[in-house]
Amino acid sequence: MNRRESLKLLASAAALAATPLSVRAAMAQTTTPAAPAAGPFTLPPLGYAFDALEPHIDAQTMMIHHDRHHAAYVANINTFAQQVPALGTTPIEETLLNPDYLPLQIQQGVKNNLGGHWNHTFFWELMTPGGATEPSGDLKSAIEASWKDANEFKDKLSAMGVGRFGSGWAWLVLNKEKKLELISTANQDTPVTLDAKAIIGVDVWEHAYYLSYQNRRPDYIDAWWNVVNWPKVAERFAAAG
């Protein structure tokens, strides 16, 4: 940096310091949500209002989770797609399963952000205000073939989520042998890479519950069962079989 550049930097720092606090707060706000970077990946709409899942999941949590966390995964994956256009034309599952066409140095970043995009798209559809609170039909029979009843199944999946150390997800999947199985993945890892079809997935990252439940992850998961979209779960189970 030459002298003129450093003087300019000092001048802009001084100007910022002189800017009224209210204006600086507004400036900060406009940069807080992830910029909706243009590209092949888009943030899917939530499909219901932010406050639709209250009192179980609060509106502010839903807004931040969808409009900032998920939006950031989408923005980041679009940035990667600018570097590697093939990323934007390859089906998401295919990239997650076989990221070898990507440069080594972006593979982890793609896995995190594309996985985050996949997981959250799955997650929003899995929740609904009101509706059934129990599985039915073929899904109910399948659950009862693997567990004593729906309650035992829910307890086991809840325990899987509570037991996930740090950030991640707990899942009901249909595995390669076409059997229902409970698994947990770290961070934004998906069941896709485990050759399993996701049927139910619960986000146990702190960002999914901390505003209402703080450190009480078990309470969040208990409440979360109230908003599960069982017809959607049944639909996924039928499609996976």
Residue 43 is given by DSSP the state P
- Closer CB to Mn ion, residue 205 or residue 213? 205
Biggest CA pair distance of the chain? 75
Nearest approach, Cβ of 187 to Mn ion (angstroms)? 10
Binding site for Mn ion (CB under 5 A): 203, 205
Beta carbons within 8 Å of 177's beta carbon, 6+ residues apart? none
Beta carbons within 8 Å of 18's beta carbon, 6+ residues apart? none
How far is 51 from 103, CA to CA, in rounded Å?
Answer: 41
Residue nearest to Mn ion (CB): 203
- Closer CB to Mn ion, residue 102 or residue 208? 208
Residue among 108, 112, 103 at smallest CA distance from 84? 103
- Closer CB to Mn ion, residue 62 or residue 180? 62
Nearest approach, Cβ of 78 to Mn ion (angstroms)? 18
Nearest approach, Cβ of 73 to Mn ion (angstroms)? 9
Nearest approach, Cβ of 157 to Mn ion (angstroms)? 17
Residue 43 corresponds to which amino acid?
L
Structure-token pair, residue 54: 């209250």
How far is 104 from 99, CA to CA, in rounded Å?
Answer: 9
Q: Residue 241: enclosing H or E segment and its boundaries?
A: none
Residue 67 is given by DSSP the state I
- Closer CB to Mn ion, residue 126 or residue 139? 126
- Closer CB to Mn ion, residue 64 or residue 174? 64
Nearest approach, Cβ of 178 to Mn ion (angstroms)? 29
